[in-house]
Structure formats: structure tokens, C-alpha cells
Amino acid sequence: MFKIIKLNDFSYPDSLGLLTNDPMVQSENFERTLAGKGLTDVLDLEKRSSWTHKSTFHIHILPNEVCHFMEQNNILTYKDGMKYGPFSLLKYEEGDFFLNHRDTNMSNEIDGTHEYTCLIFCPYGEDYTTLEGGELMLRHPDGLYEIKFDPAVETRQGRFVMVIFSIDMYHEVLPIIKGTRYVFKKPLFVKKPSTKIIKTDEVDDLCDGGGGFLGGGGGDY
């Protein structure tokens, strides 16, 4: 499965609070992204070169289209009244990349079945209009098709865009040629039969169709 959702209701930069001079996104708040090797994570700059923010982030309000997609696909969004799982913020600078791989299956008895990865590409920074490279390449597990998605088509226009894909798909990030690529990432879990389903009126309260924002509690941004 591969899905693109243009987040037209998000506005740059107020919906994220990511101002150019915001200390939250200064270099010292990022560290090298680790690469999965078996059941462990290691620093392997030949396989993956990018940066991960030291804090995690929550989207408090989702546009209606996203909420409806999550509901239709039985994807967990809230648990015990709290946003279900934070996003990581990844930064790709010039020369950064991620070789062809599949995401680690994080399914467990508590979280349900990990079936999808969710990405939100962000038009952040003084040079976001000059982003070149960093395309997301996705390949069907049996080689039936290949998708080349260029997030810069949207982010150059100051727009956010969400991409959701099945974790059985192979994918890679092509090297950044120019500019910086910011993307929020999180795993999506499908509800198990015993998982409580949020009532329709509860979902409506959370999905107002307006611009969402990222922030946090418990010490996270």
C-alpha cells in the first residue's frame, strides 16, 4: 500500500513552531541516525547518513482526511486518551542518503500489528525552496513496480505532505544534492480485534480539519 495525503490545512511555519531562529532545530539538537543491523541499531554511515532530533514530537490535531484514512484502515491513533506514539524528526543534509532497505517490524502484543510507516515532509528552513535530490524510492516486495516520490515538489511550494506505505516495501532515500530535507517519521499499528475502538464522536472531536501542530509533553518538544 502506498498513499499520499497533501496536508493543505497545515501552514508554514506556525503549525510546527519551526522558526528559522528556533533553537529547537539547531544542529546541537540532532545526532547521527543509527541503522538497523539485525536486532540492534548501529552507526553505519555507508548504509545510512542522516540526522535524528534528540526529542520526539506529537501531532495533536490531524486533518480530517488523515483521520478518516486511519479509521478506514483500523490504524491506532489514540490509546487511553493520549496520542498514540510520537514522531521522530529526521534531517538529511547535502550528501546524506539511505540505501535500499525494509523497515523493522515492531509488532508486539501491546501495540498491535505494525503494518505501515508514516512520513510527513516539511518545508522548513531558509533554503527549502532549493531542495534537490532526496527522492523516496519505493519498490514492491516482489518487484512488480517501483515508485519515485519527490517531496520537494510540495515542500518547494511551502506545503506539507504525508506519505504512508506498507513496511514490506523496499525503499531508499536518494542522496541530497542541494538544501536540507526534514521529515517526521513514525510506525503505524493496526488494531487487534480486542483493541478498543474510539467512538465516532471522539474521533470527530480530534479531527477538526484545521492545521495541526507538533509539540509535546513529558519533556518532549
**Other beta carbons less than 10 A from residue 55's beta carbon:** 15
When comparing pLDDT for 15 and 176, which is higher? Answer: 176
Residue 13's pLDDT is what?
46
Q: What is the pTM of this model?
A: 0.83
Provide mean pLDDT across the span 1-17: 70
When comparing pLDDT for 125 and 178, which is higher? Answer: 178
Q: Which of 34-38, 136-140, 195-199 shows the lowest per-residue confidence on average (mean pLDDT)?
A: 195-199
Residue 36's pLDDT is what?
77
Ramachandran area for residue 40 (φ above 0: left; ψ -120 to 50: alpha; else beta)? beta
Q: Kindly provide the residue ranges of all beta strands, DSSP E only, lying in 34-103, ordered along the sequence.
A: 35-37, 40-42, 48-49, 51-59, 78-79, 82-83, 87-92, 97-101
Q: Is the pLDDT of residue 172 over 90?
A: yes
- Start-to-end CA distance of the chain, whole Å, equals 31
**Other beta carbons less than 10 A from residue 151's beta carbon:** 25
pLDDT > 90: percent of the chain: 40
When comparing pLDDT for 123 and 91, which is higher? Answer: 91
Q: For the segment 37-55, what is each residue's pLDDT rounded down to a tens digit?
A: 766 888 999 999 999 999 8
Q: For the segment 46-86, what is each residue's pLDDT rounded down to a tens digit?
A: 999 999 999 888 776 677 888 889 889 988 876 554 566 78
- Residues whose CB falls within 8 Å of the CB of residue 102, separated by 6 or more in sequence, listed in order: 141, 167, 168, 169, 170, 171
